[in-house]
Amino acid sequence: MKATPFILAAALLVGCTSVIKTADKVERGLTPPDAINYVTTKSDGSFVVQMNDTRIGNKIELLAARKSKTPGGFAVVQFDFRNGAFLGQNINVSFEWLSANGQVTERQDNWVPTLLEPGAIKTVTATALKAESAECRLRLISR
Read off the pLDDT of each residue in 9-34 and give the average, rounded to a whole number: 43
- pLDDT for the residue numbered 34: 65
pLDDT of residue 22: 41
Q: How far is CA 24 from CA 30, 62, 133, in A?
A: 10, 33, 44
The CATH number assigned to the domain with range 37-142 reads: 2.60.40.3230
Encode pLDDT of 109-126 as tens digits. 899 999 999 999 999 999
Indicate if the pLDDT at residue 139 is higher than 70. yes
Q: Is residue 30 helix, strand or coil?
A: coil
Average pLDDT on 13-38 reads: 50
Q: What is the residue-wise DSSP string for 52-103?
A: --HHHHTTEEEEEEEEEE-TTS-EEEEEEEEE-SSS-EEEEEEEEEE-TTS-
pTM (predicted TM-score): 0.72
Residue 28 reports pLDDT greater than 70: no
At residue 51, the pLDDT reads 85
The three-class DSSP label of residue 105 is strand
What is the distance between the alpha carbons of residues 94 and 133, in angstroms, rounded to a whole number? 15
Which of the residue ranges 10-14, 29-33, 121-125 would you say has the lowest mean pLDDT? 10-14
Question: How far from 51 is each of 4, 12, 39, 70, 135, CA to CA, in Å?
Answer: 52, 40, 9, 30, 19
Confidence of residue 35 (pLDDT cuts 50, 70, 90): confident
Whether the CB-CB separation of 89 and 114 falls below 8 Å is answered with: no
Confidence at 141, pLDDT banded by 50, 70, 90: confident
Whether residue 27 has pLDDT greater than 80:
no
